Structure 1
């Protein structure tokens, strides 16, 4: 059996398909006369970037779009934040074993020179922070910064960030939330989540192009520039202008891609995801894999469209290769750039096979995947 059309189940890496309007919008902008957003005659270009900030601001429920810095992805956004916090030896940072290397690697790099204390919390077998230990951890370590993801990119389990960050704010911590796996799929409200900083990407559940992302930064949090250079305004200054967002946005932005992101965000508003159907297909796939003898990472409660599993008979790489070659099913295998969680899931060092659904995944596709997986019983 080889499906005529590919079945795409790697949306946790990047979403596919994209709304048709995306390619059209990008193509139109690429064909336009280029103008730098900071220079005379470029009001339309400034407007596109500001429209993108406003679209994101509405999504996360903030009033001032200028607190949103646009960059090329969540990895860059996290580096801007983690480096820009200017951590010192006297500081403590708490993060978790759930995190992507986009969080872990910047922290480990900076710790080499700054010598701050880094506390990495364990997780349970679903891929969630253990809430019962949280108050004790805050009291014990008195962190300056807490950095967590909203949902695991390995298991899809959504953390109770409202609970965790509310208590962290009561201890005067700076709270940083990575929403790479949630924004565009489930509700992300700055006020309800008690997040000082929210990092996001455009190419996953916002359905935008790769090369788009950003960071919301509360006006009371000082992030120092990591990248510096031309801004097109205040060029007499030999340091970056102090105003947001230009303070953290040197160089020429990719206006065409952000114009496309505006279109996909607006498209989503007009075509809201059927979350009940989406999660029903996710849960059904997880159950069927378990019935077929796979060791599935079981997730109860709020989740995204990720199903992770492994087999005692087949390696994860073998499963992924055969699914791709023989059944035209595209998925992801390995550690998924989040190595620490696998030690708690008992899937280290080989990792898991990860299916990740999108709003476009159909019941027929899930049936075909379930049928294909019988080859590994």
Structure 2
């Protein structure tokens, strides 16, 4: 039940304040004090919840050992899958980082839960695991126990935050990296944001490595040709490493890496603007993408955010936790969304089909 979620944890973005934390001491053990406390508390709560379910199930079904074992098994698996969401950060609440912000975790937990349902409800699998089918009443009975260890972990995080003073803030790269020079056609550079003349339309274009960003820039170039009173800002947002990775790498090395990756993403966009002789300012920052885009637009007093996004259906956007949707929720700055490339047939049809199949299997199982 925890194999796929464990792999999904490896794709976690990492805490937004990772660069504010001091380097991990080389003498600190792999399982440090906080981790040991978490393992101990969660282990005790998990054991108590599962044994309680097992005992109460025996009281409900006297003489039916397999029913009690099945309910204990399902409680163990399901609580571990829910707790995987809380395990994504050692200090920050799952609600502050976004319950569904790691789409790989959503898929991993969904697949794992489907496997648990198969073990319980598919007839030819039940003999291998000594399980019996559960009723809707059994699931309602187990429901509170599913959340015992996740709630315990979230309460521990509150204690850890109060003790160590962790704040749920977004970290930016140092000023030397955050704002690049304004590029001119002649290759000269001036101080960032030093645009002169009449009031200009300030436009922020978030840039990543996708081709869709080039579509957004092409749109802005066409606008610039009609109105040169435009101040263009390019923003690349680098995702922070997990604290378990960043703790073993120096801060300077991390800064250099993020700066280099940002420069790589910005290079083709800069070339496009230089080809048309359009001045611009570039910025490389680090943190959660939607929040950084929103904060930067506010800090630079931008009049407009121009974003390009792949043409996806609503269901796919819901599962994938779209950055564009998040920006629209967070910002008060007008956002112009440009349609980019179409998604693959797998994303367009495969994701809805998979979700429909999972829902159908669940309905059949509960019938």
Bucket of the pairwise TM-score, normalised by the shorter protein: under 0.3
| Structure with greater Cα Rg | 2
Please report the TM-score for the alignment, with normalisation by the length of structure 2.
0.25
The structure showing larger relative contact order (alpha-carbon pairs under 8 Å, at least 6 residues apart) is 1
Q: Give the structure with the larger helix fraction.
A: 2
